[in-house]
Amino acid sequence: MTLDVQQDPGPRATSDPRPGISGLDPALLARWFTDRGEPAYRARQVSDAIWSGATDSLDAVLTLPSALRAPLAEEMRFDTLADTEVLVTDGGETEKGLHRLSDGALVESVLMHYPARARSRERHTLCISSQAGCAVGCPFCATGELGFTRDLETAEILDQVRHAARRLHVDGRRLTNIVFMGMGEPLLNLDRVLAAVEALNDPKRFGLGARHITISTSGVVPGIRRLTALGPQFTLAVSLHAARDALRDVLVPLNRRWPIVEVVTAAREHAVATGRRISYEVTMIGGVNDTDIDALAMADLLRGDHAHVNLIPMNPVAHTPWQASPMAVIDAFASTLRDAGIETTIRHNRGQEIGAACGQLAAERAGEPSAPTVARRRALLVTASAAALRGERSREPAPDGVGE
Ligand code: SAH
Ligand code: SF4
């Protein structure tokens, strides 16, 4: 079976060679000034402006003499997002940002506002992208359908956060949570993701507590091990989707490289080493991964673990033959997990009408594949999921670019 992954030969350079200031190590920024005979505190002025939420251009950094602004702008970009289109839905509770990067690549972020409840304060959660496209190619995911374009630079990751922070700042609000659940596989761009997390965490830069940052992975085992070695940094979410390899081979093609037992073992080691609970994500697809057999297999797999399972009804994605599981089926699945002592919640999708499953807008903008391509893809998925339900494992190799 082929999953129609359109693979680029490798990462392309961004067309604007100037680094984004937000992604720069603070020591390097300070050196830029001291090399020019300027005091190092100038770097702090720029950094404060970058992270303040109030400033959207270098010209507005009035603390910096104008004679320094021009040479700085020549060598660095204040913002790596060339253009952003914001679409608002859910009565203003969900805002989707479609960002164009300097080479024309499109990435998405989603800002979700949650009102205060009896036991929780008001929250503003931003879902950000770590890559343009994704090489993993999960067939229910709009980003997977796009294929891989390139890794994002650290500044391109951070500037999605700055964009949302500026929008919130206008109303005197702040981001409370950041999740790497947008486009791309964060653990396949881990150096830049870690540099971004460091900036987000740093009290002198964005200053968001590690507990408020979640990184989601489709199961890149060496990446999970690297995070474990770093110690408790943030919440790890693992996109599980199925507890049987035959089915997970289809739903998350890198399962052919790192099967379920390896992923769950690495996740358990992470939980033990960091004392932090693992979050498992399961996208619920009607008739595909929501059967009683699947619920029991997941209950057996996770019984006794320090884990939390989030069941998410699948957001309909064009060109797949699949739909979300009915609510009653999701409830029954949740009961099976809870009966096994596994903490389980059901997450309701936000922003379906503007395609809040990240990648959907970008996929639409990428243009329609031909009708025969769509028909072939649908037929392959139906055959593949039927084979998986019979327990037959895929003989296809893992997608290119996900192993090492
Ligand atoms: N690549 C990483 C992080 C980005 S995807 C990962 O897979 O974990 C973030 C989450 O969105 C994943 O749990 C993914 O399974 C989920 N997702 C993707 N497409 C979806 C869809 N159509 N409906 C619901 N959830 C989806
Ligand atoms: Fe990539 Fe995650 Fe989408 Fe799978 S679900 S294709 S890993 S972004």
Tens of pLDDT, residues 269-304: 999 999 889 999 999 999 999 999 999 999 999 999
Question: 399 CB less than 6 Å from ligand 2?
Answer: no
Q: Determine the pLDDT at residue 365.
A: 66
- Based on the residue annotation, tell me whether 127 is a catalytic residue of this protein: no
Q: Determine the pLDDT at residue 354.
A: 55
Which of 109, 136, 150 has most ligand 2 atoms within 8 Å of CB, for mutation?
Answer: 136
Which of 312, 352, 364 has most ligand 1 atoms within 8 Å of CB, for mutation?
Answer: 312
Determine the distance separating the centroid of ligand 1 and the alpha carbon of 397, expressed in angstroms. Answer: 21
Question: 134 CB less than 6 Å from ligand 2?
Answer: yes
3-state secondary structure the chain: CCCCCCECCCCCCCCCCCCEHHHCCHHHHHHHHHCCCCCCHHHHHHHHHHHHCCCCCHHHCCCCCHHHHHHHHHHCECCCEEEEEEEEEHHHCEEEEEEEECCCCEEEEEEEEECCCCCCCCEEEEECCCEEECCCCCCCCHHHHHCEEEECCHHHHHHHHHHHHHHHHCCCCCCCEEEECCCCCHHHCHHHHHHHHHHHHCCCCCCCCHHHEEEEECCCHHHHHHHHHHCCCCEEEEECCCCCHHHHHHHCHHHHCCCHHHHHHHHHHHHHHHCCCEEEEEEEECCCCCCHHHHHHHHHHHCCCCEEEEEEECCCCCCCCCCECCHHHHHHHHHHHHHCCCEEEECCCCCHHHCCCCCHHHHHHCCCCCHHHHHHHHHHHHHHHHHHHCCCCCCCCCCCCCCC
Confidence of residue 397 (pLDDT cuts 50, 70, 90): confident
Which of 146, 239, 290 has most ligand 1 atoms within 8 Å of CB, for mutation?
Answer: 239
Residues with Cβ within 8 Å of residue 305, at least 6 apart in sequence: 264, 268, 271, 278, 342
Q: Determine the pLDDT at residue 39.
A: 95
Determine the distance separating the centroid of ligand 1 and the alpha carbon of 42, expressed in angstroms. Answer: 41
- The residue that leads in pLDDT, 347 or 248, is 248
pTM for the model: 0.91
Determine the distance separating the centroid of ligand 1 and the alpha carbon of 141, expressed in angstroms. Answer: 6
Once rounded to an integer, what is the mean pLDDT over residues 191-203? 96
Question: 314 CB less than 6 Å from ligand 2?
Answer: no
Q: Ligand 1, atom 20: nearest CA belongs to which residue?
A: 141
Q: Write the burial class of residue 369 (CB in 10 Å: 0-12 exposed, 13-18 middle, 19+ buried).
A: middle
Residues with Cβ within 8 Å of residue 372, at least 6 apart in sequence: none
Give per-residue pLDDT as tens, 91-141: 888 999 999 999 999 999 999 998 888 888 899 999 999 999 999 999 999
The packing angle between helices 41-52 and 26-34, to 10°, is 130
pLDDT at 192 over 90: yes
Q: Ligand 1, atom 19: nearest CA belongs to which residue?
A: 141
Determine the distance separating the centroid of ligand 2 and the alpha carbon of 143, expressed in angstroms. Answer: 6
Cα separations in angstroms, 85 against 98, 138, 146, 184, 371: 5, 26, 19, 20, 29
Once rounded to an integer, what is the mean pLDDT over residues 222-227? 96
- The residue that leads in pLDDT, 377 or 208, is 208
Question: 301 CB less than 6 Å from ligand 1?
Answer: no
Among 89-103, 254-268, 385-399, top mean pLDDT goes to: 254-268
> Which ligand has its closest atom nearest to the C-alpha of 186?
1
Q: How far apart are CA 213 and CA 201, in angstroms?
A: 9
pLDDT at 199 over 70: yes
Among 59-68, 96-105, 314-323, top mean pLDDT goes to: 96-105
Q: Determine the pLDDT at residue 15.
A: 81
Q: Determine the pLDDT at residue 355.
A: 53
Of the residues 141, 198, 358, 364, only one is catalytic, namely 358
Determine the distance separating the centroid of ligand 1 and the alpha carbon of 294, expressed in angstroms. Answer: 19
Of the residues 95, 108, 145, 156, only one is catalytic, namely 108
Determine the distance separating the centroid of ligand 2 and the alpha carbon of 42, expressed in angstroms. Answer: 41
Give per-residue pLDDT as tens, 129-178: 999 999 999 999 989 888 899 999 999 999 999 999 999 999 999 999 99
Q: Determine the pLDDT at residue 126.
A: 95
